[in-house]
Amino acid sequence: MASHDAYCLLTEEEELSTFQEALRSSYVSLWMTTMQEEMEASRKTIGCKWVYKIKRDGNDQVERYRARLVLKGYAQKEGIDFNEIFSPVVRMTTIRIVLAMCAVFDLHLEQLDVKTAFLHGELEEEIYMLQPEGFKTQENLVCRLTKSLYGLKQAPICWYKRFDSFIISLGYNRLSSDHCTYYNRFGNTDFVILLLYVDDMLVGCKSTKTKKIGIFDFLKRITYKRSCGTSTCKTVSQFLSPLPINYKLSSSMCPSSEEERMEMSRVPYASAVGSLMYAMICTRPDFAQAVGVVSKFMGNPGGEHWNAIKRILRYIKGTSGVALCYGGSELLVRGYVDSDFAGDVDKRKSTTGYVFTIAGGAVSWLSKLQDVIALSTTEAEYMAATQACKEAIWIKKVMEELGHKQQQIVVYCDSQSALHIARNPAFHSRTKHIAIRYHFVREVVEEGSVDMQKIHTDENLADVMTKSINTNNFIWFRSSYGLLEM
C-alpha cells in the first residue's frame, strides 16, 4: 500500500506532457488558471473597424462606394503579433530608367493595379481579431486571421513575399540591384520588365500591336504620356523659382522669441516642404538644390525661410507645364558631378550634386550636404565624385540586369585637381587625412567601370545642384535635364 501511495504521489507531481493530462489532473483548476494567464499575456484580441470612401472620377462624379475592413494595427505587440514589417518598393531612379528604355525601344507600357492586394498575403503569426460590426455571430467567438488584412503592420511585407514568390514561379528574374524590378526574356528579342510599387505595377514590353498614345497616372500623382517614341512624365500637385543667385539662408533667421515661434507654427512649412520634395524626387531635378536649402530649417523655420518656400512655389506654378522627357535612339548613361565649397552658412559644409542622364533626360540626381567638412575645394569635389561613382556603379548594374550592359559609364567633373587624385593612387601629403571610404572612386576608375573626364563648368549639368545661378544659365541647364514645356 505504501509503494502504491508513493507511486501516485510521484506521478501527480511530475510535469505534464499533454493538455489531456492537465484535464485529468487533480490540480486542473490551477493548470487552467496558469494557461489563461499565459494566453492573456501572449495573445491579445485586436479590434477592427470599417473605413468608408467614395471614389470619384476626373469629373468629380461618383464611381462607386467603397467599404474596407481595417485591423487596428496600433494594438499589435512586436515579437508577438509581428516581427518583420519593412517592405521594399521600386526606386524612382529605376522607374525613370525603364521609361527611358520605353522611349528608345518604343516599348508598350501598361499600368496594373492589384485589387485588395494586402488580402492575398500569407500570415506567419497567430493573430486574433474581434468580430467586425454588422457581421457578429456568437458573442463569445473571435476571428483567427489566416490571411493578411489592411491595417496589419506586416501586411505590406506579406503581400510582397506572396507576389515575389508568384512572379518568380512564372520564370521572371528579380533584379539584385532593385528587388521590386522583374525581368523576363522570351526568345532573342522579346522581353518584359515589371516594376512593383506596393500594389501598383508598371509593365513594359515589346508588342506587335499598334501602339496607342497613352496617358495615365502612376503612383496617383505622376502623369505619364507616350507619343511618337517619346516618353514624358510630370508630377501633378497643387504645390507645383528656385532661389535667386547668391541667396543664403541660415539659422540666424530662425525665430528667437516664443511669440515668433507661435506665429510660425500656424504656417504649413513642413507640409509645403514635403510636397516640394515629392515633386523634386519624382520628376523635377531643377529645384533640387532649393528644396535642400529650405528643408534644413523644418524644426524651427522663420519668416525668411517661409518667403523662400513661397518663391519656389511661385516658380513651380509658372512652370507647371514642364515635363521630364525621354527620347532618341541612344541608351547611353552619362554622369555629371560637382560640389561647392563650404556653402552652408551654419556648419560650413559643402554640397554634393550629381546628375545622370539617359535618352536625353535625367534619371538620377542628388543635391545634399556632405557628411564631413571639406578643407579645400579639391576635397569637396573629390568626395562628391565618390558619391557619384557609387550611383554610377548601381545604374550600371541595373542596366546590365535589364539586358543593356554599359561597358563604362563616363562621369564628367570640372575639377582638374580632383580628377588627378582619382586617377593617381600615389600618396599625397595634402590628402592623407581624407577618409579611406572616399577613395572608392580610385578603385572604380582603375578597374574601368567608371571613366572620369574633365568638363567646363558652364557645361557641367551638376552645377545647378550645388548653388543658385542666374536665370539664363538656369534655363539652359533645365532643358539639358530633359525638362521641356509640354
pLDDT of residue 212: 46
Same domain, 370 and 426: yes
Nearest to 370 by CA among 384, 382, 356, 388: 384
120: region left, alpha or beta (phi > 0 left; psi from -120 to 50 alpha): alpha
User: Does the residue 65 lie in any domain?
Assistant: no
Same domain, 375 and 486: yes
User: Does the residue 87 lie in any domain?
Assistant: no
Domain final residue pick, 275, 303, 326: 326
> Strand 361-369's sheet: what is its strand order?
361-369, 351-358, 334-339, 409-413, 450-454
Domain final residue pick, 212, 227, 260: 212
Same domain, 290 and 343: no
User: Does the residue 224 lie in any domain?
Assistant: no
Same domain, 346 and 466: yes
Amino acid symbol at 299: G
Amino acid symbol at 175: L
For the packed helices 440-447 and 416-423, what is the interaxial angle rounded to 10 degrees? 70
Neighbours of 40 (CB within 10 A): 10
Strands 409-413 vs 334-339: parallel, antiparallel or unpaired: parallel
- Per the structure, the count of domains in the chain is 3
Same domain, 244 and 194: no
Same domain, 437 and 344: yes
Same domain, 333 and 452: yes
For the packed helices 416-423 and 377-401, what is the interaxial angle rounded to 10 degrees? 60
pLDDT of residue 42: 57
* Residue at grid coordinates 590628402: 431
The alpha carbon of residue 269 and the mean position of all alpha carbons in its chain are separated, in whole angstroms, by: 22
pLDDT of residue 6: 47
> Strand 230-235's sheet: what is its strand order?
214-218, 222-227, 230-235, 322-326, 483-485
pLDDT of residue 240: 37
pLDDT of residue 220: 57
Same domain, 204 and 294: no
Neighbours of 478 (CB within 10 A): 21
Vertex 141: Cα angle to 135 and 144 (nearest 5): 85
Q: Which residues form the domain of 410?
A: 328-486
Domain final residue pick, 285, 311, 326: 326
Vertex 87: Cα angle to 84 and 92 (nearest 5): 155
Amino acid symbol at 135: F
The alpha carbon of residue 322 and the mean position of all alpha carbons in its chain are separated, in whole angstroms, by: 23
pLDDT of residue 433: 64
Same domain, 344 and 268: no
List per-residue pLDDT tens for the chain, 486 residues long: 455 554 444 444 567 778 788 888 888 888 888 877 766 655 678 999 999 988 887 678 888 888 889 999 988 888 878 888 899 999 999 999 999 999 998 888 888 888 889 999 999 888 999 999 888 887 778 899 999 999 999 999 999 999 999 999 999 999 999 999 999 988 777 889 999 999 899 999 886 553 444 555 666 567 777 665 556 666 544 333 466 666 777 777 888 888 888 888 889 999 999 999 999 999 999 999 999 999 999 888 999 999 999 999 999 988 888 899 998 888 999 999 999 999 888 899 999 999 999 999 999 999 999 999 998 999 999 999 999 999 999 999 999 999 999 989 999 999 998 998 888 766 566 666 676 777 889 899 999 999 999 999 999 999 999 999 888 889 999 999 999 887
Same domain, 319 and 349: no
User: Does the residue 35 lie in any domain?
Assistant: no
pLDDT of residue 11: 47
User: Does the residue 292 lie in any domain?
Assistant: yes
Same domain, 309 and 401: no
Same domain, 127 and 174: yes
User: Does the residue 54 lie in any domain?
Assistant: no
pLDDT of residue 81: 83
pLDDT of residue 432: 65
User: Does the residue 68 lie in any domain?
Assistant: no
| pTM metric for this prediction | 0.83
pLDDT of residue 7: 44
The alpha carbon of residue 177 and the mean position of all alpha carbons in its chain are separated, in whole angstroms, by: 14
Which residues 6+ apart lie within 8 Å of 241 measured at CB?
Answer: 287, 290, 311, 312, 314, 315, 316, 318
User: Does the residue 5 lie in any domain?
Assistant: no
